[in-house]
Amino acid sequence: MSNQDLLIEIGTEELPPKALLSLSRAFEDEMAARLEKARLTFKGIQSFATPRRLALKILQLADSQEASEIERFGPAIKAAYDDQGKPTKAAEGFARSCGVEVAALKEKNDGKVTKLFYSATQPGDESSNIIPDLITQALAALPIPKRMRWGSSREEFVRPVHWFILLFGDRVISAKVLGLESSKQTYGHRFLSPEPITINSVADYPGLLREQGMVEASFNKRMETIRELVLQEANALSADVIIDEALLEEVTALVEWPVALTGNFDKAFLQVPKEALISSLTKHQKCFYLLDKHGNLLPHFITISNIISKDPAEVIKGNERVIGPRLADAAFFFDQDKKLSLESRIPELKKVIFQNKLGSVFDKSERVRQLSVYLAKQLNVDEHEVSRAAALSKCDLLSLMVGEFADLQGIMGEYYAAHDGEPEQVARAIREQYLPRFSGDELPQSSSGLILALADRLDTICGLFGIGQPPTGSKDPFALRRSALGVLRILLEKGLRLDLSACIQHSISTFSDLPENPKLQQSVVDFIYDRLRAYYSDQGIQTRCFQAVDAVRSCVPLDFDLRVRAVNHFISLPEAEALAASNKRVANILAKLDQEPGATVKPELLHEAPEKELYDSLLAVQEESRPLIANNQFQESLESMASLQKPLDHFFDSVMVNAEDENIRHNRQALLLQVRTLFLQIADISFLQVS
């Protein structure tokens, strides 16, 4: 068996830039999975992706499948032969299905009974016979929401396909994929090298495509080239450039031979909020923006061209002619929006539907205002500022600027509130209500912003759960999971001591016509707390720590967090595993009782030394832990409780809990109940048992 590299290239019309990288990765994953399933060994896969191609180089692919061992059991020996020892029809049928005579079959016990048995080594098929079907299957499995047809073909793909390379070493594997016959012919840059290019050996790819075709086929290399070019252009102006990774990926997916060019725009546009200019430059024009050393926007931009022009100045002018009107639109929107105050827009919110069953955006703003005032009282924050910020929070959605640049919601609200003369806290809260926008994003910094961000998210979650529209599977159109995690991050990372259950109940009370559902409050609480699993997992905290604390769940997330971190420290102690096992044993003993034992231990009924030792140790730990738990010093309290490990072990080794004497039995059960109750003040550490 020999190994060679295999090249697959699917040449297309321009692929969707935002989907290119995901398509490339999916193609690689699908092919890898299918090769492994087909028993075709290989050493690795290199992927290539440009606007006009998806390609894979499969390294050191075996030229045939690995041989497989076939083993089959047939009928039991008693059913395989008659009284004269002749094969029955069952035996003959099994032999025919195996392609042999009955005499060639063996006998083997399957663990229960001896049966006819067939075994053989089946040689593998050649790779060239298998690969075409695997490619077809992999392409069909790509995440393409809507497929296209082209010409008179019945084939479907994300874009029309124009060429197909399937090269094994230096030999073309004859195949037909997506209606095209395989060849060794590819195409370079649409304008810089439009003539066909012949790839005679897989080893020539992608070097030949780069040198002759003016195409850098490697997505990652092309992306890093763009990064370097952009930085060079910025350095030439002694400026800082902000390279957003999502924009960089999208630009990489738009070009095959990147060329960086720097253009300019009118300085007068700098009077417009920089976020609006940046949004126009990046979202609409796919350009990189520049800042001076003080972080101020400069009147320059860097664009990535897909062609080497004989006259770059003309290309730059063309970009400037396109960008100018876009920035002029932003300036016009800003000037027009300032003519109306945010407050004057409040009545118009009644005409904008938030959700059919949950009313208008005005209704939502009013609910958020009520909840914000409640939260402000709990946190001793100025109620008036919070109420004002909530009332104005959604007004910028009616502005021309946000209508054009949706990502500026909240940001423009802050500018317009400041222009209207609103207090700084109010203006800032309008922007911060949307923080955090994604995982790892910054949190609100102002008190009013924190409260508004919490109230807005809780209102959305409670409302959608209230009308029976929680997230299902991968579907979460209102991003409720992200909202729940945002709520938790704000409460935990900002150290806000709020009773989440009470906040949710108050939020539910602000809705006027939710369907009757006595379980709604608990459902929302459970949903939000479930997000903590992933939150702690990302921080390296084991799930069992979360489960131990969740078993005695505190309705104050900050308190919950302190307990989880205390338990996470506790499992590092040498006594932890034994104590977890003992707690599990105690829980099992108590669970089997017909009635809960008394809460009081009678010292006079403690006869054996180990139970007296446990009782004395328990009293000492209870005394030491009481002030620690009261001050939320859970880690120190668990460290104190760890001293119970040896007394507990001695107790279980030497004392019969279910003594014949009823009074002694009940007293020992009460002692164990007190031990269990002590730990349950922090967590159910029986969940910490590893095995």
What does the DSSP assignment read for 174-243?
Answer: P-EETTEE-BSEEE--TTT--SEEE--SGGGTTHHHHHHH-----HHHHHHHHHHHHHHHHHHTT-EE--
In sequence order, the β-bridge partners of residue 629 are none
DSSP conformational letter for 152 = T
Give the Cα separation of 200 and 214 in Å (integer). 18
- Between CA 255 and CA 258, with CA 256 as vertex, the angle to 5 degrees is 65
Render 523-568 in DSSP notation, one character per residue. Answer: HHHHHHHHHHHHHHHTTT--HHHHHHHHTT--S-HHHHHHHHHHHH
Q: Count CB-CB contacts under 10 A for residue 562.
A: 19
Helix (H) or strand (E) holding 240: strand 240-241
Name the token pair of 186.
């590819």
Helix (H) or strand (E) holding 463: helix 447-466
Q: Count CB-CB contacts under 10 A for residue 456.
A: 24
Q: What are phi and psi of 240, to 5 degrees?
A: -100, 140
Q: Are 500 and 490 in contact (CB under 8 A)?
A: no
Look-up: residue for tokens 């048995």?
117
Query: In the chain, count of helices (H) and strands (E)?
Result: 25, 18
Q: Of 510, 503, 562, 545, which Cα lies nearest the Cα of 528? A: 503
Give the Cα separation of 137 and 332 in Å (integer). 52
Q: Is the peptide bond before 206 cis (omega within 30 degrees of 0)?
A: yes
Compute the half-sphere exposure of residue 298: CA atoms within 13 Å on the CB side of its CA: 21
Contacts of 599 (CB under 8 A, 6+ apart): 670, 673, 674
Q: Of 88, 65, 75, which Cα lies nearest the Cα of 115? A: 75
Q: Are 298 and 237 in contact (CB under 8 A)?
A: yes
Name the token pair of 475.
């579907």
Q: Count CB-CB contacts under 10 A for residue 313.
A: 10
Query: Would you give the distance in Å from CA 101 to the centre of its chain?
Result: 57
Helix (H) or strand (E) holding 138: helix 127-140
Q: Are 551 and 683 in contact (CB under 8 A)?
A: yes
Name the token pair of 635.
């880690």
Rg (CA), the chain: 35
Q: Are 522 and 386 in contact (CB under 8 A)?
A: no
Name the token pair of 23.
């398509």
Compute the half-sphere exposure of residue 690: CA atoms within 13 Å on the CB side of its CA: 5
* pTM, full prediction: 0.81
DSSP conformational letter for 14 = P
Contacts of 494 (CB under 8 A, 6+ apart): 443, 450
Q: Is the peptide bond before 258 cis (omega within 30 degrees of 0)?
A: no
Q: What are phi and psi of 481, to 5 degrees?
A: -65, -45
Mean pLDDT for back-to-back runs of 10 residues, the chain (691 residues): 90 96 97 93 96 97 82 87 87 88 86 85 82 96 93 91 96 95 96 95 96 97 98 96 95 97 96 95 94 95 94 94 95 97 97 95 97 97 96 97 95 97 97 94 96 98 96 89 96 96 97 93 96 92 94 94 95 91 88 81 89 92 94 94 92 86 88 91 90 60
Helix (H) or strand (E) holding 372: helix 361-379
Give the Cα separation of 533 and 549 in Å (integer). 11
Cα dihedral 46/51/54/55 (nearest 10): -40
Cα dihedral 466/469/472/474 (nearest 10): -120
Look-up: residue for tokens 């390294």?
59
Render 616-656 in DSSP notation, one character per residue. Answer: HHHHHHHHHHHHHHHTT-HHHHHHHHGGGHHHHHHHHHH--
Name the token pair of 514.
């939710």
Sign (positive/negative) of CA torsion 387, 388, 393, 397? positive
Give the Cα separation of 13 and 9 in Å (integer). 13
